[in-house]
Structure 1
């Protein structure tokens, strides 16, 4: 039987406040949750954790992550790296959706899919969008509709760029066709079928989206425009769209700094949306993690380059609670429950019996202490305890942090091996059998 975990005395926000509860996890699911769980008779091995004085929230859902890397504006050396498992989990994220961005040439949907499958194997839940900035966009099977139907992890199309000099400047007809592909694919496959829209700095803002909705019968639920806190004028368009009942996505990785004096701090953008009467269920937030963050001057020259961090998702949620006075359940819902509803992830975004065992425990100052993904503890006392396959630098030949890297011949540099995981489905021979075989049989 799978390992059971009992979390005692956690102050649960599901995200609705439920009070102090005991929570039993097993088989990747929340098996029970009561004021006090009592057990009698023989029980399998159980890990018991006391969460006295801690908040328990659903694991965060990040619907916009360049998990296989992104960027390239400024040259090949600006290609951003893949995200690592421990970066995800220490940020409290247990479910993420991968995207391509500006670069749909040296980055591919198949590469994104492979990364998503790798992260899933390592312990978190993953999905992807097919496509990139460009129209016609990038697919695996020939059409976005076919990708959504035939590929399990594809739940929508994105990120398609509008109102941006880096976009393909799609027409209203082209955008409506893409939205129809996403919607019908979603209907046929029982998936979200969303069109995830990157919105840039152009003065046209959300004009094309408003026109498509005016001229077609497409439901607003198909569209998820993001980066709406990029500048105050765009946020005003976002407020208008949200007041109409459309989904609006704030980007936690876009916030003012010494190079960016225009964007609206994400936590403040959330406060503005709520104050304007946008229903909390229409507001979501994502990180744009591992995407490049180029800053251009008025002449279009690149003047600064940053990289998005997934850690900003909880940082800005905390700031919404502490600095902007957003109720806990509202702020947490923006990065959990509401995202799950937009993406039709029925087992995600809530703490409850039968839901996936994705949980985040924080102290009373909202600092992340423990994280569970599909029932497995990934973070303990703020530190990762489960790592991605190649996160240990010693496993990467020639890494600066690896042993004997400087001034010495290293005969192991090109032949470092990782033992086969006992859960690996491959028919990998055991140690005794390998000793009987010739070394040549296992060379590359």
Structure 2
């Protein structure tokens, strides 16, 4: 059912500061922004949310999520799990782009596409890159170009590994060919058509990318290199690249810890890029969530393994504001508006009438309180209120604690069945119906 929501008295950053405003949401879109919105005489259901004392930002866009899992370095037991819906929403992420990563053998682009479709159905917006670390890379239709043209959710090619011992060490010609496939596929489909590049720790840093740009007429906007805060030398190369007009993507999940003594904290890296003169609209940040975080010694031996968290995206944005004195508008733009521009997601990344109602409300300490995805409240008071299909699985048949039987017995078929409703023409419940009812009403 179409419903209306009015968020009142929020301090709005679109990400430009608009001051205290009311926001009207209808369906999945923002309908209006005004100093005061009042509706009278409507027969529609209207929810009013008092956001006095809260900041309102666009929902975060994460362009690098291993949503179907990743990893595998070190053995099969290091394969990382899929991401869940509430893991994303409680982190403030309402739009995500899926990647494969190192393992293009036991994982496939088809599997990634299926996971993206599932998350989209459950409540957030999703896209994917076709490909994996390797060249020739992994696709669905046989060519990156046709993946982009024929599959709606494919918006680019990646993540292709360079400057990394785990890469297939592509030549400048290999990289130029992949970039051309991405660019032309994007042109034909009206999509971003970017080539998303994983950067490792090799001493070559961004040199291969500089070489390709020197030898071809490919625009810099075709390339989105990431993990650029992996070490100080790579960050210096990223500054050089950014000052020449290239996009630079930091990774919020790569930051110093007890095993990693080399990486640059993302919030500090953001401050360094800005201080060096890189224009804010060229800077983005993504999480690398659910990807493995292997640490190797100088002999190439795996010495530690972690897993990326999508929560780091807002954590590092908050740290940039609070600890590094990056202006709120600038820091928030780096994880919203600028990403939407790079990926040509015209309906995302801003708080503006006509755009998707992807909204993030925080308190004055920038702690996440409420999240709306496609106009639907999915997080309330910092807790998820909408879950993925198999989250909290105690009510699903066959799971621990579930009942032995579900539904009414059908004597003709001899096993538990749900009684048919002649008024329901659909074999499957829609998303909202399924999430209103107990999960033990449905079986696979």
TM-score w.r.t. length of structure 2: 0.92
In the TM superposition, what is the alpha-carbon distance from 1:27 to its structure 2 partner? 1.6
Aligned to 1:360: 360
- CA offset digits 1:272-314 (Å, max 9, x no partner): 0000000000000000000000001111111100000000000
Write the distance in 2 (CA, Å) between the matches of 1:417 and 1:180.
53
Judged with a 3 Å threshold, the aligned counterparts in structure 2 of structure 1 residues 416 and 390 are, in CA distance, closer, same or farther, namely farther
Judged with a 3 Å threshold, the aligned counterparts in structure 2 of structure 1 residues 396 and 17 are, in CA distance, closer, same or farther, namely same
Question: Aligned to 2:325, what secondary structure does the other structure show?
Answer: coil
- CA offset digits 1:195-246 (Å, max 9, x no partner): 0000000000001000000110000000000000000000000000000010
Q: Give unmatched runs, 5+ long, in structure 1.
A: 405-409, 430-441
Aligned to 1:373: 373
- CA offset digits 1:42-75 (Å, max 9, x no partner): 3411111000000000000000000000000000
Question: Aligned to 2:129, what secondary structure does the other structure show?
Answer: strand
Q: 2:401 matched to 1:403?
A: yes
In the TM superposition, what is the alpha-carbon distance from 1:425 to its structure 2 partner? 8.7
Question: Aligned to 2:267, what secondary structure does the other structure show?
Answer: helix
Aligned to 2:384: 384
The answer to whether the 8 A contact 2:396-2:443 is kept is no
In the TM superposition, what is the alpha-carbon distance from 1:403 to its structure 2 partner? 2.1
Question: Aligned to 2:111, what secondary structure does the other structure show?
Answer: helix
Write the distance in 2 (CA, Å) between the matches of 1:37 and 1:419.
46
In the TM superposition, what is the alpha-carbon distance from 1:3 to its structure 2 partner? 1.3
Question: Aligned to 1:230, what secondary structure does the other structure show?
Answer: coil
Aligned to 2:12: 12
Judged with a 3 Å threshold, the aligned counterparts in structure 2 of structure 1 residues 56 and 154 are, in CA distance, closer, same or farther, namely same
Q: How many residues align?
A: 422
The answer to whether the 8 A contact 1:360-1:368 is kept is yes
Question: Aligned to 1:352, what secondary structure does the other structure show?
Answer: coil
Q: Give unmatched runs, 5+ long, in structure 2.
A: 407-414, 430-441
Write the distance in 2 (CA, Å) between the matches of 1:148 and 1:156.
7
Judged with a 3 Å threshold, the aligned counterparts in structure 2 of structure 1 residues 343 and 416 are, in CA distance, closer, same or farther, namely farther
Write the distance in 2 (CA, Å) between the matches of 1:270 and 1:103.
30
Write the distance in 1 (CA, Å) between the matches of 2:249 and 2:37.
38
Aligned to 2:439: none
The answer to whether the 8 A contact 1:395-1:416 is kept is no
In the TM superposition, what is the alpha-carbon distance from 1:39 to its structure 2 partner? 2.0
- CA offset digits 1:6-32 (Å, max 9, x no partner): 100010000000000000101200011
Aligned to 1:280: 280
Write the distance in 2 (CA, Å) between the matches of 1:416 and 1:368.
43
Q: 2:178 matched to 1:171?
A: no
Question: Aligned to 2:132, what secondary structure does the other structure show?
Answer: coil
Question: Aligned to 2:89, what secondary structure does the other structure show?
Answer: helix
Write the distance in 1 (CA, Å) between the matches of 2:42 and 2:14.
31
Aligned to 1:77: 77
Question: Aligned to 2:112, what secondary structure does the other structure show?
Answer: helix
Judged with a 3 Å threshold, the aligned counterparts in structure 2 of structure 1 residues 443 and 295 are, in CA distance, closer, same or farther, namely closer
Write the distance in 1 (CA, Å) between the matches of 2:54 and 2:385.
19
Judged with a 3 Å threshold, the aligned counterparts in structure 2 of structure 1 residues 95 and 416 are, in CA distance, closer, same or farther, namely farther
Q: 2:53 matched to 1:53?
A: yes
Aligned to 2:332: 332
Q: 2:61 matched to 1:68?
A: no
Judged with a 3 Å threshold, the aligned counterparts in structure 2 of structure 1 residues 417 and 343 are, in CA distance, closer, same or farther, namely farther
Question: Aligned to 2:378, what secondary structure does the other structure show?
Answer: strand
TM-score w.r.t. length of structure 1: 0.92
Question: Aligned to 1:294, what secondary structure does the other structure show?
Answer: strand
Aligned to 2:300: 300
What does residue range 230-241 of structure 1 map to in structure 2 within 5 Å? 230-241=230-241
In the TM superposition, what is the alpha-carbon distance from 1:41 to its structure 2 partner? 2.2
Question: Aligned to 1:394, what secondary structure does the other structure show?
Answer: helix
Aligned to 1:187: 187
Q: 2:349 matched to 1:349?
A: yes
Aligned to 2:151: 151
What does residue range 109-148 of structure 1 map to in structure 2 within 5 Å? 109-148=109-148
